[in-house]
Amino acid sequence: MTDGAHPHIDPKTGKSTTGHEWDGIRELNTPLPRWWLWTFYACILWAFGYWLLYPAWPLVHGATQGLLGWHARSAVVEDLKQLQTLRAPSIDKLQAASLSDIEKTPDLLEIARAQGSALFANNCAPCHGAGGQGAKGYPNLNADRWLWGGTLKDIQATITHGARWDADPATHSSLMPSFGRDGILKPAEIRATANYVRSLSGLKTDPGADLALGRKTFADNCAPCHGSQGKGNKEMGAPNLTTRVWLYGNRLSDIVNRITVGGGGQMPAWGEKLTGEQIKALTVFVHSLGGGQ
Ligand code: HEC
Ligand code: HEC
């Protein structure tokens, strides 16, 4: 029931009602506050403006483009362009300078280290560890013990062409023979040689190990790559066996296993993936890790 044209006043609150009534319950007439209404209208206006200016309405293929021509992707491209213009001067400087000049010039060194460290974290850390400390089979780049040499030039070559990376014809390719698996040496000779190898870095040898046999086997089979003193040869990628740093471990069983299976680790070539400046930055960064020659 309604009260027709005459507003009904609620006796409890003294306010007028809308005139709607359900089972004797009447609705108080409480209009929306003015500030709220105006905000609401303003939002609607703003939305219309937005629809017109920015990409908004989904269509069958894509969406309305908006009058401003703004695009999420072009915004990112613009940001990247700005970043590149910011960086370009430092990249140009790396391009022009030689590796040793970069190391000798403090501000170039700083640029190279900063770039190298970011590139290292993204590309190299998964294998070589966050700090270049390496892991079994992945060389420690902080130690002054190199497979392929630790000069700036050596490091640049290894990063560019990798090791045993078939896709790159200039890759380091020498390989340690599988002396045990291919039957070149007998188990007793292998054991004796492994003991002799441990003695080269002052590690304990088996009681009763035949070091004389080990020395002779080493001279005949291993010296061509590892050197007569076992000090290694970077042309062959053969590590120095007289230091305390080991790629595959220095327990007798580790060394016996190496001599038995031989072979070598694989390092990807980065020459195709990274620019010359990026490789320069990485080279200087790796060289400055502490083990550079
Ligand atoms: C997929 C794993 C892997 C990745 C990724 C990788 N490396 Fe290597 N790296 C190796 C292995 C394995 C070796 C050892 C190769 C060998 O046994 O001869 C190596 C060797 C090296 C050497 C030579 C060390 C020496 O003793 O002569 C340098 C320098 C090097 N890596 C730098 C880098 C840099 C810089 C990057 C990143 C751009 C990188 N590596 C990425 C696996 C990797
Ligand atoms: C054709 C060259 C060549 C000959 C010959 C050779 N090696 Fe090697 N050796 C290598 C190379 C290359 C590596 C490094 C493997 C790698 O990078 O993964 C290596 C690695 C090793 C290692 C592992 C060192 C570590 O840090 O863990 C040992 C041990 C070793 N050789 C012992 C020997 C002994 C003993 C002989 C002789 C019986 C021998 N090698 C003969 C090339 C050679």
Q: List the Cα angle 257/263/266 in 5-degree steps.
A: 120
Distance 141 CA to ligand 2 centre (A): 18
29 and 15 in contact (C-beta within 8 Å)? yes
Q: Is the pLDDT of residue 243 over 50?
A: yes
164 within 8 A of 264, measured Cβ to Cβ: yes
Ligand 1 atom closest to residue 239's alpha carbon, by position in its atom list? 26
Residue found by looking up tokens 């005949």 in the block: 220
> Cα(115)–Cα(284) distance, rounded to whole angstroms?
10
Q: Residue written as tokens 């939305």?
A: 47
**Ligand 1, pocket residues at CB < 6 Å:** 123-124, 126-128, 137-139, 141, 146-148, 155, 158-159, 163, 237, 264-268, 270, 282, 286
Q: Which two tokens stand for residue 97?
A: 């300078």
Q: What are 72-85's pLDDT values in tens digits?
A: 888 888 888 888 88
The residue with greater pLDDT, 95 or 87, is 95
Classify residue 145 as left (phi > 0), alpha (psi -120 to 50) or beta.
beta
Distance separating alpha carbons of residues 284 and 109, to the nearest angstrom: 8
d(CA 62, CA 153): 52
CA distance 144 to 242: 12
Per-residue pLDDT at 262 = 97
Query: What ligand 2 atom has the least distance to the C-alpha of 248?
Result: 27
CA of 213 from ligand 2 middle (Å) equals 18
Q: How far apart are CA 100 and CA 105, in angstroms?
A: 9
Cβ neighbour number for residue 80 with a 10 Å cutoff: 10
Instruction: State the closest ligand 1 atom to the C-alpha of 265, by its place in the atom list counted from 1.
Output: 17
Residues 6+ apart with CB under 8 A from 71: 55
Domains annotated on the chain, with CATH? 126-287 (1.10.760.10)
Structure tokens given for 8: 């009904």
The letter for the amino acid at 198 is: R
In the chain, the percentage of residues whose pLDDT exceeds 70 is 98
Atom of ligand 2 nearest to the CA of 224: 5
Cα(93) to ligand 2 centroid in Å equals 40
By most ligand atoms within 8 Å of CB, the mutation choice from 174, 215, 258 for ligand 2 is 258
Residue 83 is which amino acid? Answer: L
Q: Which two tokens stand for residue 46?
A: 């703003």
Q: Calculate how far, in angstroms, residue 236's C-alpha sits from the geometric centre of ligand 2.
A: 9
| pLDDT one-digit tens code per residue, 224-233 | 999 999 999 9
Structure tokens at 218: 């080493």
Quick one: pLDDT at residue 139? 96
The separation between the first and the last C-alpha atoms of the chain, rounded to the nearest angstrom, is: 100
State the distance from the centre of ligand 2 to the C-alpha of 92, rounded, in angstroms: 41
